[in-house]
Amino acid sequence: MGSLTKKQKNVLIRIIITAVVFAALLICEHTGIFEPLPQWVQILIFVPPYLLIGYDILIKAAKNISHGQVFDENFLMIIATVAAFCIGEYSEAVAVMLFYQVGELFQSYAVGKARRSITDLMDIVPEYANIENDGVLEQVDPDDVEVGDIIVIKAGERIPLDGIVTEGETMIDTAALTGESVPRRASVGDEVISGCINGSGLIKVRTTKAFEDSTVSRILELVENAGNKKAKVENFITRFAKVYTPFVTACAAVLAIVPPLVTGGDWGEWIRRACIFLVISCPCALVISVPLGFFGGIGAASRAGILVKGGNYLEAVSKLSTVVFDKTGTLTKGEFRVSEVIPVSCTEQELIELAAHAESISDHPIALSIREHYGKPVNSANVTSSEEIAGHGISAEISGKRVLLGNKALMEKFGISSAEHNGAGTAVYIAADGDFMGTIIISDGIKDGSAEAIRGLRAAGVSRCVMLTGDRKSEADAVSKALGLDDHYSQLLPSDKVTIVEKLLAESGGGLAFAGDGINDAPVLARADVGIAMGSMGSDAAIEAADIVIMDDDIRKIPLVMRIASRTMRIVRENIVFALAVKLAVMVLGALGIANMWLAVFADVGVAVLAILNSMRALRA
């Protein structure tokens, strides 16, 4: 059974000793050695193994009763076994407790394995941080590191805090956070996040967050709290068990008392049937296997770099019929590139040079893409003035020329005739001294895997895929056509996106998920049934806003989490139907006197073990 905890080993030792003693007692019982002995002597013989294997159950039941929690499986076990002693079924009383403990041990091991699966997966808590003092490295608690401190991370060490690389170059293993097997390169100026492993070279990092605000702390908090957000079926099972246990206890009491009173039958026989009824009725299989199934599903998703904030969201994902996407950064790369240069009154090189100088002071992604395409240092001395015209573009004086760069509305504002671009991409119009110079087309390429993700969603049962974007209609049309989306909406403000999502929610036959970057789309993520954020390696905004976080931005993991959710729900339903069907059948047989105590033990312990084994399947990603 692999590694056991100290507590599990102690229980195993008790089980082995009791089993050996019990086997010897059974042999003596069947050979008739005990027959001449008085009943009280036989009781004294069987009580020690009973107490050895069941003393902790007796203690738990007493504690629960003292706290007002009478009806649980411990109470049922005691009532059933004590009653068995009262009617002379001593070996059966020991057997029930023995096999119940075997089932409890198996259950404990299975739950521990599920927890270890997630603990190993999320074993990203750094034990220390290296601070350099007078040329000597000192290991300190990550909690003691201040924002802005320089920490040293050697090859093979886990990154303890989020920060920016100030010295060195390395390959970062992000598998614990993203599920990616391929390391990422990090050099001076790059951001690194806690929980990842420094794979190759020594680096120095200036911390940007305190440990309690770091990515690793936020993710661990998310995983720890995931179990608190129960799915509807989990809440149902919890409520069901609270009603079910006292109900079956009352039924057992009626079964033990009413038939012999009415028919004048054998009291011992009916008490025996009531004991069997109680053993069968323990709700362990349901109470343990259902939460374990959801826990396994969350673990499987985590292993793939998908953080699910609770079983309720896993249940909701399994019912999705509509998925709505933000465009930039979700379906597309969010990396603007110059795709076309269309000169009119100058050469292509002159046009891109003019645009690069006009955009020399801007940090806008479009400006950055133009300067990157230019590929040369911009001589800022040539730019004598620059002014941003809100909602239109830029007006700059470059080498004595008044240059206008921006959208079509900017050209119209200054009465400049220009050829309108109606194709895909964002058009940047450029004019100098009132003359139209040409157009530069900026495009955001479709993200690798987007088309595959859409196909995966269709296969997973999603009937409608919709895209929302603030871009122009022509750009939205091109992306929608390329990916085969059902619908798309363009030129939207953030408030418009919320309105459209509410409209789609009303039209949706099932659940609706919204997938976005988690930064600009927080209102829409919150409004959808399930908010899915492209986590950007664990950005704070993504973790806060969404119900599910895709840690490495791989959109193909949305259909993957749907498949995991569907399988988890199927396993949970299988456990519920199987456990209830077997228990109901054997309870009826027990009440009719057909089922014996051994069959009752199978209906309780055996069904619980099989249901737990079935739940463990959910752990596979």
Q: What is the dihedral angle through the alpha carbons of 409, 411, 415, 416, rounded to the nearest 10 degrees?
A: -150
Name the residue among 279, 253, 356, 260 with its Cα closest to residue 74: 279
Name the residue among 191, 109, 259 with its Cα closest to residue 615: 109
Amino acid at residue number 179: G
Residue written as token pair 């800022």: 380
| Secondary structure class of 186 (helix, strand, coil) | strand
> What would the DSSP string read from start to end of 584-613?
HHHHHHHHTT-S-HHHHHIIIIIHHHHHHH
Show the 3-state SS of 415-446: CCCCCCCCCCCEEEEEEECCEEEEEEEEEEEE
The set of residues, in sequence order, having a beta carbon less than 8 Å from that of 453 and lying 6+ positions away, is: 555, 556, 558, 559
Query: How far are the Cα atoms of 387, 422, 584, 613 from residue 436, in angstroms, in the given order?
Result: 19, 17, 83, 72
Give the C-alpha separation, 7 to 109, whole Å.
11
Task: Count CB neighbours of 261 within 10 A.
Answer: 10
> What would the DSSP string read from start to end of 148-166?
T-EEEE-TTPBP-S-EEEE
* 326 part of the active site: yes
- Residue 459: which region, alpha, beta or left (left: phi > 0; alpha: psi -120 to 50)? alpha
- Provide the CB-side half-sphere exposure for 465 (13 A, CA): 23
Amino acid at residue number 418: S
Give the single-character DSSP code of 35.
Answer: T
Cβ atoms 216, 194 nearer than 8 A:
yes
What b/e string do you get for 145-160 counting C-beta neighbours within 10 Å, with b at 16 or more?
Answer: beeebebbbeeebbbb
From the candidates 326, 517, 552, 553, which is the catalytic residue? 326
Give the C-alpha separation, 186 to 92, whole Å.
66
53: which 2 tokens? 């294997």
Cβ atoms 504, 527 nearer than 8 A:
no
Cβ atoms 18, 52 nearer than 8 A:
yes
- Residue 438: which region, alpha, beta or left (left: phi > 0; alpha: psi -120 to 50)? left
Query: How far are the Cα atoms of 150, 191, 205, 543 from residue 209, in angstroms, in the given order?
Result: 12, 12, 12, 15
Rg (CA), the chain: 34
Q: Where in the sequence numbering do the catalytic residues fall?
A: 326
